[in-house]
Amino acid sequence: MTITDVQYYVDGVLARNRRVLSKTITMIESSLPFHQNIARNVMERLLPYTGKSIRIGITGVPGAGKSTFIESFGMMLLKRGLEIAVLAVDPSSKKSGGSIMADKTRMERLSAESRAYIRPSPTGRTLGGVAQKTRESLLVCEAAGFDVVIVETVGVGQLETTVASMVDFFLVLMIPGAGDELQGIKRGILELADAIVINKADGDNVPRAHLARQEYETALHLVNPASANWSPPVLTCSALEERGIEKVWETILDHKRQLGATGELAAKRKDQSLEWTRFLINEGLQEWFYKNDQVSRKIPDIKGKIEAGLITPTQAAQDLLSVIMISGASDDALQREENEK
Amino acid sequence: MSKHSGKEQWKHLAERELKGNPVESLNREAPGGITLKALYTAEDIEQYECTNTLPGLPPYLRGPMATMYAGRPWTIRQYAGFSTARESNEFYRRSLATGQRGLSVAFDLPTHRGYDSDHPRVSGDVGKAGVAVDTVEDMNILFDKIPLNEISVSMTMNGAVLPILGGYIVAAEEQGVKHNELTGTIQNDILKEYLTRNTYIYPPLPSMRIVSDIIAFCADAMPRFNTVSISGYHMMEAGADIVLQTAFTLADGLEYVRTALKAGMDIDTFAPRLSFFFGIGMDFFMNVAMLRAARFLWHRLISRFNPKNARSSVLRTHCQTSGWSLTEQDPYNNIIRTTLECMSAVLGGTQSLHTNSFDEAVGLPTDFSARIARNTQLIVQEESQVCHAIDPLGGSYYIESLTMSIVEEAQKIIDEIEEMGGMAKAIESGMPKMRIEESAARKQARIDQGIETIVGVNKYKSGETPDFEIREVSDDVRVQQIVRLQEIRKTRDNKVVAKALENLTKAAERGGNLLQHTLPAVRARATVGEISDALEKVFGRYVATTLCISGVYASEYRDKEIIESLRRRSELFMEHEGRRPRILLTKMGQDGHDRGVKVVATALADMGFDVDISPMFQTPGEAAKMAVENDVHLVGVSSLAAGHKILIPGLLTELAQIGGEEIMVIAGGVIPPRDYRFLYDAGVSEIFGPGTSIINSANKILNLLEKQFMG
Ligand code: B12
Ligand SMILES: Nc1nc2c(ncn2[C@@H]2O[C@H](COP(=O)(O)OP(=O)(O)OP(=O)(O)O)[C@@H](O)[C@H]2O)c(=O)[nH]1
Ligand SMILES: [Mg+2]
């Protein structure tokens, strides 16, 4: 059933065929090596066509209003004549592995628009899994000519760091709480943010939103800005009532102008690519390590010893690593040579 | 006489009969956190002061009127409406001639949602699930030869309440009937639309203003008309248990009272015109007790506002038996179920009642099935002699205890809602909807396992399919309505219409009673859609927030083996295909029945599927776009409002047009079996009707997928 012709995907994406774009993302996300292989080849050919869109990451706690914000924000962008793609990463249930993706119920108008493309993706059991693929999906959307690509992710675990490392502009959506805003907020997220937007500034919430804004402003002063040319602003908006949304877009454009002029944006993307490569190597190494026969044979034994208190974790790691350092590497090299013959 | 002298002896005997098990082993955990014992005695009720009270007097536990049915029996009020105004009018007049006492109008879904019959979003909905009304001309036909100063009319309308109530008032004017002669009820209960009924149009704030404007207008001009029918029925049908139904309904009531008070009205000018609407299910005694408990609680809640008029704190209610309890399988059983539920409502002291037809799970009632449903009440009323005594179960140890248990549990939830700042705030938080959906998912899991018996569905299956007439509304109704609309738009004075609509928009913007401002537009023959649009310009259209529960179905399902085996198959599919089975569940057209789609969604996710949910009210084109973008393996359409023969083929066509022809389409919901062939021929792969266990559905879906992808 799977179409194996790489050029089919490439042509389809470049021709902005939604069906093919969707199938390409499916290939990227697939856990089958055979699909991944197709995806890699497609990516390679699409790469020259990437780089032209504005990449925005949006994170926030569950229920912060990310999807609603994207609905309003996206509709506003469409009115300005832009085409947009949204990649929404949804956590899956640990127990069943399945998921319910209701993102589009919050993006009712946007999802019906022909100039908008929205793709929800389940994380699968490992949170990091799909987030990594999202980077490639983002590039595919870019190649398909979308002016703006938005990645929505829930602010949990490592997800937000991963997403921050693939976008030009990382927006953190907050909600006004009961006053003690900063409690429970990870400092790390403030360091990642290019802007903090306090959503739900409507109705009874307005005063609280303004209070929160001041507190975040103070907090941001204590964080070293990532760029000398950009100090992340704190804004308020109401995604529901569509107020303050334009200001966010202007801020993003400002950011692009400022950092674009100094060449920082280009540098940021290059850094991200290097960072990405490093990440992929680490992932690959891990996978390769755990798949190694000798390692997997040895693991139960070592596990038992740790549990029995016979060796320290440091010693245990050393023991396992030494397996591949001595024999595993050469084994594997041999194996590869054999394959190539 | 507090401690029963023989209690110990009874216990001893009982435990012997139970072969040594304690009597507590007979306890039943009823939904809503109430534990029921097997035996109640005087001891159980002596702590309650209210048991020995009188009907018509506070706290009204025994009935809102002093003489109850001994004086006048409840009103038989059957909810009906379909097709065109002409056809519905004829049906009403036949019903009135054969024993019905009052009218209750069911409008079609486009009307409910404020769309005219020619609107592109309603191609599958016109006249299908109620009567189509576009202008006052339709209203005139609907009430033709029905004198509105004599017959009380109840109208289930909430979203498009202004043009419809306006249409009724103007139709009366044109019959020569004065406003103050009108009797009946407008549902006008918008809060529960956001919770369960899903025919809202505007966001909560402006909608509450509409409610309050109607209350104010009627307090003045239509003093005999009930201005809000605070409804728990829909919550029950969506899955709420008895305690949830009682608590959420009364909390809604409180919110309306506060809104009217805030608008400057005096409690006694409007509270006596608030009425209620409860749903009556199969749990016989519980439902009797619920009505008694609700009256007690309402009196307690309203007393806080210090009304001078005794009628202000009296709860009067309409009831409807549960359509959800009725089955497609072995449908004549439904007559028996409905009779039992009818008895519950009567013993609980309802003021009016609708009893469902046996073809409930297949389609709108026919003349025949409607007659049997009506006769159910007539027989109870006129043959069984139950009307003679007032509150005949009053004083029963069991009923009185049950009543007070419901009072206590419901009060807890009401307190919780009060703490959140009232029902409007609670709804905003999503809490009540989640509770109802959770309750629905549990119920589904229990039925699917056979823990709760449904005769003919999960036990004592007959396999027979009796043949009876089924009502089908022709697609031609839409065409007829469109022709009428075009005619009216041509012949009316469009300048007057435009001016009236402009004034209405202004009133929405700047203030002024909205019903007052709607009437000139209605008189000028503005359409339901135009009037709704005039308001939408200012208010906007509301989009519901869909929250999803997860893990509830699986945790309520005791046979973990079965769940695990389905999960394994999803996992195997993933190993083969590189991802989990992915399904888009969608609701197309104006069909707002979402109970089924929600339980199916949560259950399939629990079995390891990746489930996409679309917004409500999709067009086939929108659903197809979503299926293609999300790249799902299949689309599951849930259709309950009779749009399936238009919307599902529409979806298949749209899918093919955008390259999604290999995406499989399956369907579920109220689809008469005789339409299956038509749908299969159109390309539908599998159909799951009412009563299908979700385990079976999941199994069949996996079969389809395995055949297609792994076969
Ligand atoms: C509950 C109910 C309501 C509730 C809905 C609450 C809610 N939020 O869902 C309330 C009280 C609000 C309601 C209102 C109305 N209702 Co109603 N309602 C019903 C009722 C009694 C039960 C439906 C139900 O929820 N069953 C339980 C669920 C779990 O079952 P299900 O949806 O069928 O799903 C099961 C299967 O079908 C299958 N399935 C369904 N979809 C899918 C999809 C997939 C992919 C799969 C695998 C399986 C699957 O699996 C499920 C589990 O077994 C039916 C009659 C009946 N007994 O079916 C009438 C019924 C659907 N209602 C009807 C009508 C007319 C209305 C109104 C339009 C009346 C009016 N004019 O005002 C209103 C408006 C509603 C709206 N906005 O659309 C009619 C429709 C007539 C027709 N089809 O010809 C019916 C058939 C009753 C009747 N005979 O008159 N209703
Ligand atoms: N009052 C108000 N409510 C909002 C606003 N934005 C979103 N909401 C509500 O907040 C709830 C959550 O909104 P979503 O957009 O689903 O939030 P999310 O962050 O995408 O949620 P997840 O995807 O589940 O993490 C919904 O009930 C929205 O209607 C806003 O600006 N004001
Ligand atoms: Mg979201």
State the CB neighbour count (10 A cutoff) for residue A334: 10
- Do residue A24 and residue A73 come from a single domain? no
pLDDT at A120: 96
pLDDT at B407: 97
d(CA B100, CA B95) in angstroms, rounded, equals: 6
**Residues of chain A positioned with their CB less than 8 A from the CB of B612:** 101-102, 104, 120
Is the pLDDT at A332 greater than 70, yes or no?
Answer: no
- Reading the block at residue A221, the tokens are 């002063």
- Do residue A64 and residue A200 come from a single domain? yes
| Residue span of the structural domain in which B115 resides | 75-448
Nearest in space to B242 (alpha carbons), one of B283, B272, B185: B283
From chain A, which residues contact B within 8 Å (Cβ)? 1, 17-20, 22-23, 25-26, 29-32, 35, 92-93, 95-102, 104-106, 108-109, 111-112, 114, 117-120, 122
- Do residue B19 and residue B80 come from a single domain? no
C-alpha radius of gyration, chain B, whole number: 26
- Do residue B36 and residue B99 come from a single domain? no
Count the domains in chain B.
3
ipTM above 0.90, yes or no: yes
- Do residue B133 and residue B218 come from a single domain? yes
d(CA B121, CA B417) in angstroms, rounded, equals: 36
**Are residues A100 and B548, on separate chains, in Cβ contact within 8 Å?**
yes
- Do residue A128 and residue A92 come from a single domain? yes
Q: Estimate the crossing angle of helix B367-382 against helix B333-348, to 10 degrees.
A: 40
Bridge partners, A196 (sequence order): A172, A234
d(CA B670, CA B362) in angstroms, rounded, equals: 6
- Do residue B29 and residue B82 come from a single domain? no
Residue ranges of chain B with per-residue pLDDT less than 50? 1
Window 518-547 of B: residues touching A by CB (8 A cutoff) are 543-547
Nearest in space to A216 (alpha carbons), one of A251, A253, A247, A185: A185
> What pLDDT, in 10s, does the model give residues B119-170?
999 999 999 999 999 999 999 999 999 999 999 999 999 999 999 999 999 9
- Do residue B17 and residue B111 come from a single domain? no
What are the backbone angles phi and psi of residue B195, rounded to the nearest 5°? -80, -50
Residues around ligand 3, an ion, CB closer than 5 A: A 66-67
d(CA B179, CA B8) in angstroms, rounded, equals: 65
- Reading the block at residue A58, the tokens are 């949006």
Q: Mark A5-23 as b/e (b = at least 16 C-beta within 10 Å).
A: ebebbbebbbeebbbbbbb
**Are residues B605 and A100, on separate chains, in Cβ contact within 8 Å?**
yes
Would you say A198 and A61 are in contact if contact means Cβ atoms under 8 Å apart? no
Task: Provide the annotated active-site residues of B.
Answer: 79, 233-234, 587, 591, 593
- Do residue A236 and residue A173 come from a single domain? yes
pLDDT at A178: 46
Query: How far, rounded to the nearest angstrom, does the alpha carbon of residue B78 sit from its chain's CA centroid?
Result: 15
Residue B205 sits in a domain of what CATH number? 3.20.20.240
- Do residue B245 and residue B135 come from a single domain? yes
Is the pLDDT at A152 greater than 80, yes or no?
Answer: yes
**Are residues B622 and A111, on separate chains, in Cβ contact within 8 Å?**
yes
| Residue span of the structural domain in which A18 resides | 1-49
Q: Separation of A161 CA from ligand 3 center, angstroms?
A: 18
Ligand 1 atom having least distance to the Cα of B444: 29
Q: Which of A18, A30, A104 sits opposite B615 (nearest CB)?
A: A104
| Atom 42, ligand 1: residue with shortest CA distance | B668
d(CA A87, CA B49) in angstroms, rounded, equals: 62
> What pLDDT, in 10s, does the model give residues A167-218?
999 999 998 874 444 545 666 778 889 999 999 999 888 999 999 899 889 8
What are the backbone angles phi and psi of residue A57, rounded to the nearest 5°? -105, 140
**With 0-12 CB in 10 A as exposed, 13-18 as middle and 19+ as buried, what is A87?**
buried
Residue B629 sits in a domain of what CATH number? 3.40.50.280
Residue A256 lies in a domain: yes
Q: Separation of B600 CA from ligand 1 center, angstroms?
A: 13
Residue B443 lies in a domain: yes
Residue B458 lies in a domain: no
- Do residue B99 and residue B40 come from a single domain? no
- Do residue A27 and residue A58 come from a single domain? no
Window 601-630 of B: residues touching A by CB (8 A cutoff) are 601-602, 604-616, 619, 622, 625-626, 628-630
d(CA B536, CA B530) in angstroms, rounded, equals: 10
Residue A204 lies in a domain: yes
- Do residue A208 and residue A319 come from a single domain? no
- DSSP 3-state assignment of B173? helix
Residue B586 lies in a domain: yes
Would you say B538 and B508 are in contact if contact means Cβ atoms under 8 Å apart? yes
Residue A283 lies in a domain: no
What are the backbone angles phi and psi of residue B706, rounded to the nearest 5°? -65, -35
Task: Calculate the dihedral angle through the C-alpha atoms of B191, B193, B199, B203, rounding to the nearest 10 degrees.
Answer: 40
Residue A274 lies in a domain: no
Would you say A199 and A237 are in contact if contact means Cβ atoms under 8 Å apart? yes
Query: How far, rounded to the nearest angstrom, does the alpha carbon of residue A208 sit from its chain's CA centroid?
Result: 30
- Do residue B31 and residue B176 come from a single domain? no
**Antiparallel, parallel or unpaired: β B28-30 and B34-36:** antiparallel
Residue A330 lies in a domain: yes
- Do residue B215 and residue B279 come from a single domain? yes
Q: Which helix (H) or strand (E) holds B335?
A: helix B333-348
Residue A282 lies in a domain: no
**Are residues B605 and A99, on separate chains, in Cβ contact within 8 Å?**
yes
Residue A172 sits in a domain of what CATH number? 3.40.50.300
Task: Among A26, A49, A72, give the residue marking a domain's end.
Answer: A49
Residue B474 lies in a domain: no
pLDDT at A179: 45
Site residues for ligand 1, CB cut-off 6 Å:
B 106-107, 109, 129-130, 156, 196-199, 234, 237-238, 323-324, 326, 360-361, 363-364, 444, 585, 591-597, 599-600, 636, 638, 640-642, 666, 668-670, 688-692, 694, 697
- Do residue A56 and residue A45 come from a single domain? no
pLDDT at B255: 97
- DSSP 3-state assignment of A201? coil
pLDDT at A222: 82
The answer to whether the Cα torsion of B175, B179, B183, B187 is positive or negative is: positive
- Do residue A141 and residue A107 come from a single domain? yes
| Atom 76, ligand 1: residue with shortest CA distance | B592
- Do residue B328 and residue B207 come from a single domain? yes
Residue B146 lies in a domain: yes
pLDDT at A335: 53
- Do residue B277 and residue B370 come from a single domain? yes
Task: Calculate the dihedral angle through the C-alpha atoms of B491, B493, B497, B498, rounding to the nearest 10 degrees.
Answer: 110
Is the pLDDT at A61 greater than 90, yes or no?
Answer: no
State the CB neighbour count (10 A cutoff) for residue B708: 14
Is the pLDDT at A278 greater than 80, yes or no?
Answer: yes
Count the domains in chain A.
3
Window 573-602 of B: residues touching A by CB (8 A cutoff) are 574-575, 577-580, 601-602
- Do residue B39 and residue B104 come from a single domain? no
d(CA B343, CA B333) in angstroms, rounded, equals: 16
> What pLDDT, in 10s, does the model give residues A240-249?
999 999 999 9
d(CA B655, CA B685) in angstroms, rounded, equals: 14
- DSSP 3-state assignment of A328? helix
Residue B488 lies in a domain: no
d(CA B316, CA B338) in angstroms, rounded, equals: 22
pLDDT at A331: 52
Would you say B671 and B596 are in contact if contact means Cβ atoms under 8 Å apart? no
- Do residue A56 and residue A166 come from a single domain? yes
How far is the CA of B389 from the CAs of B42, B350, B385, B393, B492, in angstroms? 22, 14, 9, 9, 56
A and B: number of Cβ contacts within 8 A: 122
The verdict on pTM exceeding 0.90 is yes
Q: Which of A19, A26, A105 sits opposite B658 (nearest CB)?
A: A19
Would you say B440 and B239 are in contact if contact means Cβ atoms under 8 Å apart? yes
DSSP state of B394: T
List strands edge to edge, sheet with B184-186: B79-80, B103-106, B153-156, B184-186, B225-226
- Kindly state the average pLDDT of the residues A53-64: 92
- Do residue A35 and residue A143 come from a single domain? no
Nearest in space to B688 (alpha carbons), one of B663, B656, B666: B666
- Do residue A10 and residue A93 come from a single domain? no
- DSSP 3-state assignment of B83? strand
Is the pLDDT at A339 greater than 70, yes or no?
Answer: no
Residue with tokens 């499916």: A26
Residue B477 lies in a domain: no
Residue A170 lies in a domain: yes
Residue A271 lies in a domain: no
Task: Among B417, B448, B479, give the residue marking a domain's end.
Answer: B448
Is the pLDDT at A325 greater than 80, yes or no?
Answer: no
Residue A44 sits in a domain of what CATH number? 1.20.5
Entry field: residues in chain A: 341
Residue B485 lies in a domain: no
- Do residue A134 and residue A194 come from a single domain? yes
